[in-house]
């Protein structure tokens, strides 16, 4: 039987919490989430049943059938050898063209949106031109590309040309070791190949690639005429050489993409005319063929066109030309015009709203099946999921007018119905957002999907305006463009649209780890617990720190050292990306690159610099405990603390309890919050903001966690917050440490709202009571919580709504809980595909109930 | 058992027949496949306190056990 929340006395009356759906009274807590999926059609039910999930955990693929393909690495290598001597940007375009012209096509039963990025739907491509260590790791695994000898030969060929070889030259061996071990700093992109991008989909959907090719040709003609002018002027004339090469590369890339899509059209037609026996499917395959013949070459004419054109563009930008995580887009606004054509006007590809929901479900299953050839580090840190596929909806248009539409609702309905871990959804919350849509957001959260995560619409919009002022070519986002944003990955807003979008992770992304820094601050920069090497500068013997300020400054020194190093690594990567890793296709679909003849890796119009501090709260709580017990109350000495930590608190349990029970973040505690606010604003944000990156703007912190709070926890020794060595870190950028927020949900909001300065974003993870959220009062309580959250000017919040009983049942019998989804941090995951270590961290999070005091503060109307 | 530092146990031994590479407690380094991570230190609450293995083919320790753990038993 389902648990029902206990009645409470509120505003002078007794409030009961009967379930909103009485039928759920008969469903046991332990199996609730196995009873919530309701695919819209039999087709999406079949597609979900046969989906080839590519979840990873602890660096391994959960499904033993998943493996790396060889085609992409084979064809890009073939092209690289054949194009020696040509301009590098042209070589990149020829590489893409060779892959697209020769790769095996995949067309699967029941699909309507077609296209895949490897030769088999169980496979994913590899990228030897990025990091040879990452490919070598695959070669040593059970899922190596075959033939293995050929793959090894290809990897050997790329060693000297790879981004890794280029980037490493500008760091000492010690610096590389410090970064590569991923304990105080995330390894640089040139060593992992990890990347992110926000493709300017809108140009493809609105213009079509034939028009883009025409534009590039006109640019070349214009450039040639400029070069022929008399008298010759080298100071301007020579600039045209590089630009002509960029435009030529765009044409090669776009023509290849059109040909590749039309190969799909031919394949669908051949199957329809020669092999398909089901008349309905035959007709559908002919329609698929017609669509792929039309798009992305031509502008989209209806919603089916838009879904297909967007998918082809996604595959090129995120998987075929180069690997990039993410699914960044403002999907509802992008598709709304086509929704109106097909659903409201019914003037092309007519369909019903329910048909659109089915399309959404099919797109979600395409993403769920999409494999990412990412390095081991990134197979570790999104446990139970595939990759960071995250789209954005909701928010406002210029003038803060509601941007929600029926397309927004279709996206939410599809997500709620089909229940997949990916893609995650971000909802931009603004008071003007319509309630109908907010109810759907609530239903997804209440059903335990962990998404949408919620971002503060005004904070995100104003932030893009702020960054715009640093634009190197004085052409950053306009006030209007600043409203059209989506998250690049989990947490950071970036401009969407035809121009100025985020093109590479060397602009924003990557992590540093304050918990580990806290550990080495107490050991003069030395890492005694994991690597046995000096990880940072010598900041002194902590037992000689006579004041708390000396400890504070020692931390600042370690932090400043690490953050400058990782941003330097990203900018060095960007330098080489612009010279050897150009993206001609991406350039061709960006209006700025097209206008200026500059490759997307080089052109920066809208700065968007950020880096992710992860495990900040462990460090912050540690500082609070040290200040209170050593410097204020003088109950212990620093020497005693260091000794106890080196013993992992063994023999010092009473002392550990004191440190564990010191004030903790998230309880609206003035003592703790004052220190922690300063820590965020002065050190975490303040030191980062001193940096200027490639794009000319500041770098700001985006506090979050992904699965790195587990990885870093396991590489971090005991800390003064009372944590044992190896225990997980905190699970969000600004979330209280698991189980330490004991004053209820509104106390958490009050603490978090105190941090405002020098931040770009901060992830807040909260776990909500299932019986309350599923009760008749669930929406009203949640809505009043969200309104308070918005008024407190908090950047982000995301929710788990899953019971401990169900998670523990899933640990015992994983095979019976395939539909149990949880929010880890920044992404949702299949619970049973997460290692036990990570599962336990989610169970340990406080389940927030709402008492009368909370409801009073929220002014909830029940 | 609570986790403790195991530097005394893990050591370089060129040509060892029991390299970390084939030990069930070892899992690959996140970046460089020639390095690894030892996970033998585990506490009763499920915590896994890792130790860096700088050479997976040339290091070993007394707790060496050939095999491979499920992803569920790692981090």
Residue B6: inside a domain, yes or no?
Answer: no
Question: How many Å apart are CA A559 and CA A520, to the nearest integer?
Answer: 11
To the nearest whole Å, the CA of A293 is away from the closest chain B CA by 42
Bridge partner residues of A77 (DSSP): none
pLDDT at A227 over 80: yes
- Joined tokens for residue A805: 């009983």
Note whether residue B1 is domain-resident.
Answer: no
Comparing CB atoms, the residue among A60, A191, A725 nearest residue B31 is A191
Provide, rounded to the nearest whole percent, the portion of chain A with pLDDT above 70: 100
A488 in Cβ contact with A496 (< 8 Å)? no
Distance from CA of A5 to the nearest CA of B (A): 29
**Is the predicted pLDDT of residue A328 greater than 70, yes or no?**
yes
pLDDT exceeds cutoff 70 at B5: no
- Is residue B73 within 8 angstroms of chain A, CB to CB? yes
Q: Omega into A598 within 30° of 0, i.e. cis?
A: no
Q: Give the model's pLDDT for residue B7.
A: 47
Task: Decide: B27 and B42 in contact? Cβ < 8 Å.
Answer: no
Residue B47: closest CA among chain A residues belongs to which residue? A727
| Chain A, window 19-48: residues with a beta carbon less than 8 angstroms from a chain B beta carbon | none
**Contact by Cβ (8 Å): A723, A648:** no
E strands, A684-755, are: 700-703
* Cβ-Cβ contacts under 8 Å, B52 against chain A: 181, 530-532, 715
Domain at B36, CATH number: 4.10.490.20
DSSP A742-793: -S-HHHHHHHHHT--TT-SEE--EEEE-HHHHTBTTHHHHHHHHHHHHHHTT
- Of the partner residues A58, A137, A717, the one whose CB lies closest to the CB of residue B75: A58
ipTM score over 0.90, yes or no: yes
What is the spatial distance between Cα B24 and Cα A529, in angstroms, rounded to a whole number? 21
What is the per-residue pLDDT for B8? 60
Q: β-strand A828-830 against A847-848: which pairing, if any?
A: unpaired
Burial degree of A862 (CB within 10 A; 0-12, 13-18, 19+) = middle
Q: What distance in Å separates residue B4's CA from the closest CA in chain A?
A: 7
Q: Tell me: the pLDDT tens digits for A461-476?
A: 999 999 999 999 999 9
Per-residue confidence (pLDDT) for residue B9, from 0 to 100: 80
Average pLDDT score over chain A: 97
Q: Evaluate if residue A342 carries a pLDDT over 50.
A: yes
pLDDT at B6 over 90: no
Q: What interhelical angle do A435-446 and A406-418 show, nearest 10?
A: 10
Tell me: pLDDT of A59 over 50.
Answer: yes
Of the residues A837, A838, A840, A842, the best mutation for testing chain B's interface (the one with the most B CB atoms within 10 Å of its CB) is: A837
Closest CA to A707 of A843, A824, A845: A824
Nearest-Cα distance to chain A for B41, in Å, is 8
Give the range of the structural domain holding residue B32, as residue numbers without chain letter. Answer: 11-70
Residue B32 lies in a domain: yes
Contact A436, A444 (CB under 8 A): no
Of B28, B33, B75, nearest to A835 by CB-CB distance is B75
Using pLDDT thresholds of 50, 70 and 90, give the confidence band for residue B1: very low
How is residue A185 annotated by DSSP?
B
Average pLDDT over residues A836-855: 95
The pLDDT, as a whole number, for residue B2 is 38
Is residue B41 situated within a structural domain? yes
Phi-psi region of A59 (alpha: psi -120 to 50; beta: other; left: phi over 0): left
Q: What is the pLDDT of residue A1?
A: 80
> According to the model, what pLDDT value does residue A241 have?
98
The number of beta carbons lying within 10 Å of the beta carbon of residue B45 is 12
Residue A675: predicted pLDDT: 98
> Which residues are registered as beta bridge partners of A427?
A393, A454
Task: Tell me the three state secondary structure of residue A254.
Answer: helix
The residue among A249, A245, A209 whose CA lies nearest residue A224 is A245
Q: Per-residue pLDDT tens for A777-792?
A: 999 999 999 999 999 9
In Å, the largest CA–CA distance within chain B is 36
Identity of the residue in A62, A532, A715 whose CB atom sits nearest the CB atom of B50: A715
CB contact under 8 A, B31 and A725: no
pLDDT of residue A274: 98
Q: How far apart (Å, rounded) are the C-alpha atoms in residues A585 and A247?
A: 10
Cis peptide before A231 (omega within 30 of 0): yes
Q: Is the pTM of this model over 0.90?
A: yes
What pLDDT is stored for residue B43 in this prediction?
A: 81
pLDDT at B46: 77
Residues near B53 by beta carbon (within 8 Å), at least 6 away in sequence: B10, B20, B26, B29, B35, B36, B37, B38, B59
**How many angstroms separate the CA of residue B33 from the nearest CA in chain A?**
5
A794: tokens are 């908090």
Question: What are A585-637's pLDDT values in tens digits?
Answer: 999 999 999 999 999 999 999 999 999 999 999 999 999 999 999 999 999 99
**H-type alpha helices, A449-598:** 457-468, 514-521, 548-580, 584-588, 591-596
Which tokens go with A754? 């105190």
CB B73 to CB A180 under 8 A?
no
Instruction: State how many domains chain B has.
Output: 1
β-bridge pairing A700-703 and A610-613 = parallel
Q: In what order do the strands lie in the sheet with A765-768?
A: A390-394, A424-429, A453-456, A796-800, A765-768, A847-848
C-alpha distances (whole Å) from A432 to each of A108, A262, A437, A463, A787 are: 42, 43, 11, 19, 11
Distances (CA, A) of B27 to A278, B7, B20, B34: 49, 17, 9, 11
Q: Please say if the pLDDT value at position A551 is more than 90.
A: yes
Q: Report the percentage of chain B scoring pLDDT > 90.
A: 81
H-state helical runs in A238-301? 239-274, 279-294
């Amino acid at each position: 039987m389902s648990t029902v929340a206990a009645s409470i006395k509120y505003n002078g009356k007794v409030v009961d919490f009967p379930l909103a759906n009485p039928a759920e009274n008969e469903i046991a807590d332990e199996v609730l989430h196995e009873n919530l999926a309701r695919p819209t059609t039999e087709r999406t039910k079949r597609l979900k049943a046969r989906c080839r999930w590519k979840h990873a955990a602890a660096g391994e693929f959960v499904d033993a059938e998943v493996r790396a393909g060889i085609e992409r690495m084979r064809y890009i290598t073939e092209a690289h050898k054949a194009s020696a001597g040509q301009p590098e940007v042209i070589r990149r375009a020829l590489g893409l063209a060779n892959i697209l012209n020769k790769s095996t096509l995949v067309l699967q039963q029941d699909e309507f949106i077609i296209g895949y990025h490897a030769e088999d739907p169980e496979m994913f491509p590899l990228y030897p031109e990025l990091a040879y260590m990452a490919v070598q790791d695959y070669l040593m695994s059970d899922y190596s590309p075959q033939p293995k000898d050929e793959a090894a030969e290809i990897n050997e060929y790329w060693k000297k040309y790879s981004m890794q070889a280029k980037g490493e030259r500008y760091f000492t061996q010690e610096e590389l070791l410090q970064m590569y071990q991923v304990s105080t700093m995330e390894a640089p992109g040139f060593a992992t190949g990890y990347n992110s991008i926000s493709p300017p989909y809108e140009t493809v959907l609105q213009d079509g690639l034939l028009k883009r090719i025409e534009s590039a040709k006109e640019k070349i003609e214009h450039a040639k005429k400029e070069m022929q002018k008399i008298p010759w002027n080298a100071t301007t004339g020579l600039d045209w050489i590089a630009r002509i090469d960029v435009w030529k590369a765009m044409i090669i890339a776009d023509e290849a993409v059109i040909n590749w899509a039309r190969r799909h059209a031919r394949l669908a037609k051949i199957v329809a005319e020669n092999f398909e026996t089901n008349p309905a499917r035959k007709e559908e395959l002919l329609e698929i063929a017609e669509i792929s013949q039309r798009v992305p070459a031509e502008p989209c004419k209806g919603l089916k066109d838009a879904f297909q054109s967007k998918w082809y563009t996604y595959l090129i930008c995120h998987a075929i030309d180069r690997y990039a995580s993410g699914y960044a887009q403002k999907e509802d606004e992008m598709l709304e015009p086509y929704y109106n054509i097909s659903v409201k006007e019914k003037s092309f590809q007519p369909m019903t709203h329910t048909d659109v929901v089915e399309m959404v479900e099919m797109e979600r299953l395409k993403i769920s099946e999409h494999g990412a050839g990412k390095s081991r580090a990134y197979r570790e840190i999104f446990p139970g999921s595939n990759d960071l596929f995250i789209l954005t909806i909701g928010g406002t248009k210029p003038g803060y007018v509601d941007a929600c539409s029926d397309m927004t609702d279709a996206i939410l309905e599809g997500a709620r119905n089909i229940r997949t871990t990916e893609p995650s959804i971000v909802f931009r919350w603004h008071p003007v957002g319509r309630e109908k849509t907010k109810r759907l957001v609530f239903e997804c959260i209440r059903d335990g999907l962990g998404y949408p995560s919620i971002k503060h619409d005004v904070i995100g919009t104003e932030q893009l305006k702020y960054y715009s002022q640093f634009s190197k070519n004085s052409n950053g986002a306009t006030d209007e463009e600043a409203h059209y944003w989506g998250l690049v990955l989990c947490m950071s807003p970036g401009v969407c649209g035809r121009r100025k979008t985020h093109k590479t992770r060397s602009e924003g992304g990557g992590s540093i780890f304050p918990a580990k820094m806290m550990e080495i601050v107490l050991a003069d920069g030395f890492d005694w617990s994991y690597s046995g090497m000096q990880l940072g500068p010598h900041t002194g013997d902590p037992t000689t720190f006579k004041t708390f300020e000396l400890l504070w400054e020692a931390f600042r020194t370690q932090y400043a050292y690490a953050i400058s190093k990782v941003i330097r690594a990203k900018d060095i990567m960007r330098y080489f990306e612009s010279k050897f890793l150009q993206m001609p296709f991406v350039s061709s679909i960006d209006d700025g690159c097209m206008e200026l003849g500059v490759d997307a890796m080089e052109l920066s119009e809208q700065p968007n610099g950020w880096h992710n501090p992860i495990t900040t709260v462990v460090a912050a709580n540690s500082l609070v405990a040290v200040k209170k017990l050593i410097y204020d109350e003088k109950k212990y000495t620093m020497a005693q603390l260091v000794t106890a930590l080196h013993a992992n608190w063994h023999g010092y349990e009473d002392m550990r309890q004191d440190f564990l029970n010191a004030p903790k973040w998230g309880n609206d505690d003035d003592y703790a919050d004052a220190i922690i606010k300063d820590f965020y604003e002065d050190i975490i944000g303040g030191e980062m903001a001193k940096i200027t990156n490639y794009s000319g703007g500041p770098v700001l912190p985006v506090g979050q966690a992904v699965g790195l709070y587990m990885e870093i926890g396991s590489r971090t020794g005991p800390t003064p917050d009372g944590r044992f060595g190896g225990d997980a870190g905190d699970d969000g950028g600004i979330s209280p440490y698991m189980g330490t927020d004991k004053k209820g949900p509104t106390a958490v909001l009050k603490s978090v709202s105190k941090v405002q300065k020098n931040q770009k974003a901060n992830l807040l993870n909260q776990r909500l009571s299932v019986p309350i959220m599923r009760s008749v009062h669930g929406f009203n309580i949640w809505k009043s919580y969200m309104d308070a959250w918005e008024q407190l000017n908090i950047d982000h919040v995301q929710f788990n709504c899953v019971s401990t009983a169900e998670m523990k049942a899933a640990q015992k019998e994983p095979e019976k809980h395939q539909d149990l989804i949880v929010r880890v941090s920044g992404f949702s995951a299949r619970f049973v595909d997460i290692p036990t270590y990570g599962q336990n961290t989610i169970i340990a999070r406080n389940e927030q109930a709402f008492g009368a005091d909370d409801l009073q503060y929220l002014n909830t109307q029940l | 058992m609570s986790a403790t530092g195991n530097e005394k146990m893990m050591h370089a031994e060129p040509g060892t027949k029991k390299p970390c590479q084939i030990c069930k407690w070892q899992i690959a380094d996140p970046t460089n496949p020639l390095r690894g991570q030892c996970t033998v230190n585990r506490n009763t609450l499920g915590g896994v306190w890792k130790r860096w293995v700088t050479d997976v083919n040339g290091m070993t320790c007394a707790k060496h056990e050939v095999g491979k753990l499920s992803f569920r038993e790692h981090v």
